[in-house]
Structure 1
């Protein structure tokens, strides 16, 4: 009689599908929305300084109020998304953003425009939380890092394309044409969202009474702080590079910022799987280490070569960090709580871009512009220490361990996101 043999080797499992019709529709909706957001970057300063007669302070006020409402509304948006769905958030966010932009041309003063920008920020909070949560819902656990890389790529491309479209529109039709074109592009995003099915679990497990009205989710706090630690340095880098290049004999910051953005886009497209291949903890530690090195090189090697090299190293770190952090944040939480987690984590992005340039401005005023980059390196280093101390990124759930076992060196890409890093 023949004894059956048992193989101790598990057959390799095919990678689950990521690029479904819903995922592709969501990616194009995100690209349309962030293209609309990018169109405002060159238009708003011209409008404030031109027709409204404002100065630098007014420009800063108009841009800054957007982040205020965005960060305040994110927690409520996350809670609503978990209760009612991700798609209503995106539809409402795109609609609110579009209508508010149409009202820009009616503003008689910078102060009134800043008030309207509060409404735009509310729209951004709704759309971003719904979008980011939907991406995590649609992605298999072991491809979540890749999904968030591609989500942030849509953001970067949109912010890159938008200003170019706006410049052409201003040249041909003026600022009024930009407001209309921006609103139309945001409306296109809403139409594309209609093609995305609702991703909220149809029968989520009932949440404990203590968590039903929770606006800040504990699972999103630590990843958010780590994200904040790195983005503060990046925000200071982007804000002060245009001035620092003049101090070291460069004609403009175009090469430095172009190299920085190009590397981020390259890694988040061609290298979108890197966060999954490395695994969450390793990717985050590598990203923070590279951020420290890049910022320190830029802050201590006061030559064009030093600045470009620092920008390259920093860009690799930023490209790895944000997708990994977002996916990690939702790795071990129920699907019915993902919206709250994404809202909590992403709120730290708004805090970083609001407080980062201000705090780094104080550093520059006290110690000089190179000190801004060194201070950013210190902040990223503090994030690295926090990650090591808390063992953030270690596989915790049985599902994660199974994914690591089943996919070998691909591991589990429970990693997370970057926001509007390209906006500045």
Structure 2
């Protein structure tokens, strides 16, 4: 593919509108993330296991459908999946107003997973269409703020709405936010610029990216384990506010994504991914070895620095293997790995925590990150992968 100029404009109306649409969508997601466990254990009458099932059910359908959504985004365009996904999300949230049993709630969460697969995959593909090739890493850094801010602000909004007028207002507001996201996607419009690939070129999995996503998977497993046990570890260490470690983590990611947005375009992608994995491992080692509130906060902050660079680095490397007509499938492959990693991390490291304690679980996460760093370093020496602003490419 011909390399575009590094001076091409990034902050176009379509790019900004896409970011706002994603902020609305993920804020709605964050409202549900807060309110759903309370709704299941309250009005529905379920227990903690039921709440966990309700919260996590969406990931099952999302994981299965992301690769299919990627192919559909390449075949029919990004807009139908962006618009349709946001509408499905609005429907799944609005119908919670009349959900009075756990099976109904789980069914609606599975529907939310369909929406998530469509919207998330098409959103990343649209981002790759809109971003200048030489500024792909910067675009990924800024675009991800919608996800992080939405998941951070959504629970705060959900808590305020539930306190004000109960769950009905929370579900209504979340549905309205999803409808707003759908409306904004119409302003973004269709971003695909090339015709669909021939039948022989269409796959559900973007095969050239498979070696790269293994390194990305290691980062996600390590991160997922920390996110799952940070609050519990904070409680055991005597924090007054058990959510402080996660707040520090989220704040550092957001600050780094803004302050260092251009770094992924100046450093070869897999080299940056290797460094990010090392930093993630160091953060987990700090949290595992310095058993104090300060140690956990330091570990969370260091780990967050690694996470801030890992996603732009690996997504840049993945998109570098794809032509414009393959970006949907590439996005589907990369985002499916996010579900896989964030699911495997808590499960696998949870077994370690149950048998040996949370510090050992953090240590196991650091070991996974270390193996991923070695793999990515070897891969970076085997193939010439760099940021889109360079002449290197995957061969």
TM-score by length of 1: 0.88
Task: Give the whole-Å Cα distance in 2 for the aligned partners of 1:196 and 1:98.
Answer: 19
Q: 1:293 aligns with which of 253, 277, 282?
A: 282
Deviation (angstroms), 1:297: 1.3
Deviation (angstroms), 1:14: 5.9
Q: Does 1:349 align with 2:338?
A: yes
Counterpart position of 2:302: 313
Q: Is the 8 A contact 1:36 1:162 kept in 2?
A: yes
Counterpart position of 2:326: 337
Task: Give the whole-Å Cα distance in 1 for the aligned partners of 2:34 and 2:212.
Answer: 32
Counterpart position of 1:32: 24
Q: Does 1:62 align with 2:54?
A: yes
Deviations along 1:253-305, one digit per CA (max 9) or x if unpaired, are 33322221111000111221121122312211110110111111111221222
Task: Give the whole-Å Cα distance in 1 for the aligned partners of 2:59 and 2:325.
Answer: 26
Q: Secondary structure at the match of 1:215?
A: coil
Greater alpha carbon shift after TM alignment, 92-101 vs 108-117:
108-117
> How is 1:317-328 mapped onto 2 (pairs within 5 angstroms)?
317-328=306-317
Task: Give the whole-Å Cα distance in 2 for the aligned partners of 1:14 and 1:290.
Answer: 29
Counterpart position of 1:267: 256
CA radius of gyration, larger in: 1
Deviation (angstroms), 1:138: 0.6
Deviation (angstroms), 1:396: 5.4
Q: 1:266 to 1:303 in 2, by over 3 A?
A: same
Counterpart position of 2:98: 106
Q: Is the 8 A contact 1:279 1:413 kept in 2?
A: no
Segments of 5+ residues of structure 1 without an aligned counterpart are 1-12, 406-411, 415-424
Task: Give the whole-Å Cα distance in 1 for the aligned partners of 2:256 and 2:82.
Answer: 27
Deviations along 1:39-61, one digit per CA (max 9) or x if unpaired, are 11111011000001111110111
Q: Secondary structure at the match of 1:16?
A: coil
Deviation (angstroms), 1:392: 6.9
Q: Secondary structure at the match of 2:8?
A: coil
Q: 1:367 aligns with which of 350, 356, 359?
A: 356
Q: 1:387 to 1:16 in 2, by over 3 A?
A: same
Task: Give the whole-Å Cα distance in 2 for the aligned partners of 1:392 and 1:26.
Answer: 35
Task: Give the whole-Å Cα distance in 2 for the aligned partners of 1:355 and 1:287.
Answer: 20
Deviation (angstroms), 1:358: 1.6
Task: Give the whole-Å Cα distance in 2 for the aligned partners of 1:234 and 1:203.
Answer: 37
Q: Is the 8 A contact 1:145 1:413 kept in 2?
A: no
Q: Secondary structure at the match of 1:103?
A: helix
Deviations along 1:211-251, one digit per CA (max 9) or x if unpaired, are 33x21111332332222211111111121111212333332
Q: Secondary structure at the match of 1:404?
A: coil
- Runs of 4 or more, structure 1, over 6 Å off, are none
Counterpart position of 1:236: 225
Q: 1:395 to 1:16 in 2, by over 3 A?
A: farther
> How is 1:84-95 mapped onto 2 (pairs within 5 angstroms)?
84-95=76-87
Task: Give the whole-Å Cα distance in 2 for the aligned partners of 1:39 and 1:293.
Answer: 32
> How is 1:36-47 mapped onto 2 (pairs within 5 angstroms)?
36-47=28-39
Q: 1:68 to 1:93 in 2, by over 3 A?
A: same
Counterpart position of 1:216: 205
Counterpart position of 1:187: 179
Counterpart position of 1:404: 390
Q: Does 1:77 align with 2:63?
A: no
Greater alpha carbon shift after TM alignment, 375-384 vs 268-277:
268-277
TM-score by length of 2: 0.94
Q: Is the 8 A contact 1:220 1:342 kept in 2?
A: no
Counterpart position of 1:385: 374
Task: Give the whole-Å Cα distance in 2 for the aligned partners of 1:279 and 1:404.
Answer: 8
Task: Give the whole-Å Cα distance in 1 for the aligned partners of 2:370 and 2:194.
Answer: 42
Segments of 5+ residues of structure 2 without an aligned counterpart are none
Q: How many residues align?
A: 390
Deviation (angstroms), 1:191: 0.7
Counterpart position of 2:139: 147
Counterpart position of 2:126: 134
> How is 1:113-124 mapped onto 2 (pairs within 5 angstroms)?
113-124=105-116
